[in-house]
Amino acid sequence: MRKNWTLLVGISLVSLLVICTLFANWISPHSPLEDFRGLENLSPSFESRDGKYFLLGTDTLGRDLLSRLIYGARYCLLMGCVTVAIAGFIGIPLGMLAGSHTRLDAVISKATDIVMSFPAVLIALVVVSILGPGLFNVIIAVALTSIPSFIRLTRSQVKLEFRKDYVQAAECLGVGRIRLLSLHIFPNIVPSLLVLSSLSLGTAILESAGLSFLNLGVTPPAPEWGSMIRTGMETFLSSNPWVSTFAGLCIFLNVLAFNLIGDALRDRLDPALRGKV
């Protein structure tokens, strides 16, 4: 019962995120970039100002916070999904190679171990220092840091599958390596990869928001949540704590959602994964 409940919360939060992403133009009351002069630093309220409503208040430039948060969903979902897709696209084949080929395994696993021992933020910083800030570069940086966990999980799952009878049966029938990996083994490890993808989405969102918070990712005036926390910090301590607070809550709830979904999926699809991802 409890598990159903967490999965439900996760799915509703993610649906909200998707709805905001798709229909931001229609839902948001104002443009995320429009400055309302004379209406700066408003607190959240249900009262109208000059005939307009600013439910969550405005920031230092008089932009509607609610609209900015809704548009921010686009960055969040885009960065999360694209980075995980790239990481999976590169990490899964490499993991399959490592899992099925002993000699390559030594090299790939060692390299994965080394990369994983460094903090993701540091690796992302290096990539950004090479490529410069910006949405596209952040995606590359965060994707790079997510690849190792895909390699590691795919490798260990492939190794487990190789011990099973159906693989031996296929090998006896003369099925080639590539065919065996892609058509026989891959479908069997999809559930665990789904779990990892969901958990990685959370991490990727956290990381890309962190880079934007450091002014090295998506830069203002784009309504990205991490960079909104950063710009809100200047007024956070004095007059208007709302900008940082709501942006932070948005990041928290969405990461939480993907973590809850990941945990629930793991408990359903593959309880043996506990502790592995």
Q: Quick check: 213 binds other proteins (CB under 8 A)? A: yes
Q: Quick check: 173 binds other proteins (CB under 8 A)? A: no
Which residue in the set 16, 90, 194, 214 belongs to the binding site for other proteins (CB under 8 A)? 214
Give the integer Cα–Cα distance in Å for 33 and 198. Answer: 31
- Nearest Cα residue to 142 out of 96, 200, 187: 200
Per-residue CA distances from 163 to 72, 106, 160, 186, 266 (Å): 46, 19, 6, 14, 22
Residues 209 and 193 sit within 8 Å (Cβ to Cβ) = no
Instruction: Considering the complex, state which of residue 97 and residue 243 has its C-beta at the smaller distance from other proteins.
Output: 243
Give the integer Cα–Cα distance in Å for 61 and 34. Answer: 9
Q: Quick check: 273 binds other proteins (CB under 8 A)? A: no
- Nearest Cα residue to 84 out of 190, 204, 193: 204
Peptide bond into 148 cis (omega under 30): no
Give the integer Cα–Cα distance in Å for 86 and 143. Answer: 6
Instruction: Considering the complex, state which of residue 161 and residue 224 has its C-beta at the smaller distance from other proteins.
Output: 224
Instruction: Considering the complex, state which of residue 186 and residue 246 has its C-beta at the smaller distance from other proteins.
Output: 246
Instruction: Considering the complex, state which of residue 71 and residue 242 has its C-beta at the smaller distance from other proteins.
Output: 242
Q: Which residues on neighbouring strands pair with residue 49, listed in sequence order?
A: 52
Helix axes 225-236, 242-269, angle to 10 degrees: 140
**C-beta of 183: minimal distance to other proteins in Å?**
35
Residues 225 and 251 sit within 8 Å (Cβ to Cβ) = yes
Which residue in the set 14, 77, 222, 255 belongs to the binding site for other proteins (CB under 8 A)? 255
| The one segment of 17-25, 77-85, 98-106, 235-243 that binds other proteins by CB under 8 A | 235-243
Which residue in the set 141, 185, 209, 265 belongs to the binding site for other proteins (CB under 8 A)? 209
**C-beta of 53: minimal distance to other proteins in Å?**
26
Which residue in the set 31, 256, 267, 270 belongs to the binding site for other proteins (CB under 8 A)? 256
Per-residue CA distances from 26 to 29, 202, 267 (Å): 8, 27, 37
Q: Quick check: 104 binds other proteins (CB under 8 A)? A: no
Q: Quick check: 244 binds other proteins (CB under 8 A)? A: yes
Instruction: Considering the complex, state which of residue 30 and residue 226 has its C-beta at the smaller distance from other proteins.
Output: 226
Per-residue b/e over 140-162, b at no fewer than 16 CB within 10 Å? bbbbbbbbbbbbbbbbbbbeebe
Scanning the structure block, which residue is given the tokens 């208040």?
57
The footprint of other proteins on residues 22-81 (CB under 8 A) is none
The footprint of other proteins on residues 114-143 (CB under 8 A) is 114, 117-122, 125-126, 128-132
Instruction: Considering the complex, state which of residue 48 and residue 117 has its C-beta at the smaller distance from other proteins.
Output: 117
Query: Which chain residues interact with other proteins by CB under 8 A?
Result: 114, 117-122, 125-126, 128-132, 202, 206, 209-210, 213-216, 226, 229, 233, 236-237, 241, 244-245, 248, 251-252, 255-256, 259, 274-275
